[in-house]
Amino acid sequence: HMQTETDPSRLKMSGRHVTGGSSGIGKCIAIECYKQGAFITLIARDENKLLQTKKEIEKYSVNDKQVVLCISVDVSKDYEQVENVLKQAQEKLGPVDMLVNCAGTSVTGKFEDIEVNSFERLMAVNYLGSVYPSRAVIATMKERRMGRIVFVSSQAGQLGLFGYTAYSPTKFALRGLAEALQMEVKPYNVYVTVAYPPDTDTPGFAEESKTKVNCPSVLEISIFKAY
């Protein structure tokens, strides 16, 4: 389910500079954009995974000018480092036209059973991991009066879920950021998209499923909410 505050004309991908990730939703978006002629910067921590994904994406090229650039960085750790690598990417491939914020991780469990440092780690990866790259490209987008920032939230960012006390608030935070940011950038022809995907078949989801707690049914939760 995609939700945007406004509905501008669709961004044509040919020759555009789009960021993506090395796995999951970020990788799929990168492939789709590349198929439409975009230039791609992949951002992730794992260098081997980045190179593997680069090779996979390059099979879909539609012209010989297209480039897939790899950047190994932890987007949630050090803002200056994130800013520097995105600056380098923009020097090579031109300004970012569409930034896709897809860094995310999950821990499930009962509130009192989740390690305290997990709350901090999830907020860093899922929230600051989207704040930092967005902050690094926003000034250029506003100057050019063009650009789109995509935040990958979750259905757990619209509704609190049993077992997701560490995860759900980080995804709610993205929604607040996106709505406030859209108000600021709309006059500059910059647009913000929030995606609220359900459970999606990704490596991250496979990892999360290993620790899932037994949870009341949706019906039970609905009845509980009704009362």
Which positions are annotated as active-site residues?
153, 167, 171
Residues 122/211, Cβ–Cβ less than 8 Å: no
User: If you count DSSP H runs as helices and E runs as strands, how many of each does the chain have, helices first?
Assistant: 8, 7
Residues 103/129, Cβ–Cβ less than 8 Å: yes
Nearest to 153 by CA among 126, 182, 135: 126
Q: What are phi and psi of 134, to 5 degrees?
A: -65, -45
Nearest to 90 by CA among 153, 152, 148, 136: 136
Nearest to 192 by CA among 178, 177, 171: 178
- Give Cβ neighbours of residue 219 (< 8 Å, ≥ 6 apart): none
The letter for the amino acid at 94 is G
Task: Please give the Cα distance from 57 to 15 (Å, whole number).
Answer: 16
Q: Which residue has the tokens 């902050």?
A: 135
Q: Tell me the CA distances in angstroms from 182 to 18, 42, 155, one per residue in order.
A: 19, 24, 20
